[in-house]
Amino acid sequence: MQRILQPGEIEALDHVSFPRVRLPQPAALFQERAARLAQLADGHPIADYLRFAARLVQAQQRVAAQAPAAQAPSADVIERAGAHGMPLMPASDALPGPWRDTLRALLADLQADAAVPAPLRPVLDSLAAAGDGALDALARQALADNIGREDLAAAPLVMAALQVVFAVRAAAVPEKAVPYTEPATLCPVCGSAPVASVLRIGGNIAGHRYLHCGLCATEWHMVRVKCSHCESTQGVRYQSAEDADGRIGEVVQAETCSQCHTYRKLVSQEKDPYAEPLADDLASLTLDLLMGDTAFSRASGNPLLAIERPLAV
Ligand SMILES: [Zn+2]
Ligand SMILES: [Zn+2]
């Protein structure tokens, strides 16, 4: 029996012509992100934070370049994930072995830099002195978005180390091994939430919307008519913020959903080819402030910004 296809399904049928999944290339990823953060920092109300974030991402790039290549997942792992529609290597499983070495390398890189803000020094020192057990506990809390107030300043550093390890691991995954997962709103590689979504340009990805994993930076396609949090096609709308000059922000919009009452940002490369999901999300805090006055709560956080805020469940 024939049934009428919805607009989103028609777009999805065309999946042979563009990649469903874009696995990260850590070297390019961190380089582009750091450059974008530095660019956005110019004249920005939170310029100091964005410059520090750019500095942190540069350190991620250096550490990622020295990290040993990860092994591709075994045939068993691939088959099991595919059979159950589960993420390939969930971040909730055991922490990857080298993550603490990665954190300590990141900390050493930052400790050696005189430009790192003074208030951050004690945070770097205390993390560098922490034992394996304490670091693992912190990593699990950060991954579960369950960081105590006393550890908020350390959280972006811990997440930065985890991002390196998980991106390097995801980069070793063969594209064909990435399962179709349920729900489709979580990363098919590591099971984490997207930090934002991005409308890509260039080649066969042009005009397609990808969700960008906040942890491993894998991108996976989702049609724009669907809410990136509950997959409803009923109530997706967009909201923008005005900048200080009264111009409406076009590069970053908040995609809201009247079904689950959340929002997540959509970053458009069509409006700015250098737009980068995590960086542009971080630099558009004004939009978050605006959304704070609405009925929509933020669907998931930004790993490089640890603030206490109510997130949607
Ligand atoms: Zn992921
Ligand atoms: Zn929704």
Q: Is pLDDT of 8 > 70?
A: no
pLDDT at 37: 98
Contacts of 262 (CB under 8 A, 6+ apart): 227, 229, 230, 256, 296, 297, 298, 299, 312
Question: What DSSP element (H or E) covers 206?
Answer: none
Residues with CB under 5 A from ligand 1 (ion): 187, 189-190, 192, 213, 215-216, 218
Q: What percent of the chain has pLDDT over 90?
A: 85
Considering the chain, tell me which residue range(s) the CATH 3.90.1670.10 domain(s) occupy. Answer: 25-175, 179-298
- The pTM score is 0.92
Q: How far is the CA of 189 from the centre of ligand 1 (A)?
A: 5
Q: How far is the CA of 167 from the centre of ligand 1 (A)?
A: 8
The top-level CATH class assigned to 25-175 is alpha beta
Average pLDDT estimate for 173-193 = 96
pLDDT at 225: 94
Pull the structure tokens for residue 59.
């350190």
Q: Is pLDDT of 52 > 60?
A: yes
CATH number, span 179-298: 3.90.1670.10
Residues with CB under 5 A from ligand 2 (ion): 227, 229-230, 232, 257, 259-260
Q: How far is CA 57 from the centre of its chain?
A: 13
In terms of pLDDT, which residue wins out, 97 or 256?
256
Q: How far is the CA of 137 from the centre of ligand 2 (A)?
A: 32
Average pLDDT estimate for 61-81 = 94
In terms of pLDDT, which residue wins out, 253 or 69?
253
Find the ligand nearest to 263 CA: 2
Q: What percent of the chain has pLDDT over 70?
A: 91
- Find where tokens 């939170």 sit: 46
Question: What DSSP element (H or E) covers 204?
Answer: none
pLDDT bucket at 6, cuts 50 / 70 / 90? low
Q: How far is the CA of 224 from the centre of ligand 2 (A)?
A: 12
CA–CA distance from 242 to each of 94, 155, 286 (Å)?
A: 43, 30, 8
pLDDT bucket at 313, cuts 50 / 70 / 90? very low
Summarised one tens digit per residue, pLDDT across range 185-240 is 999 999 999 999 999 999 999 999 999 999 999 999 999 999 999 999 999 999 99
Contacts of 45 (CB under 8 A, 6+ apart): 286
Q: How far is the CA of 299 from the centre of ligand 2 (A)?
A: 9
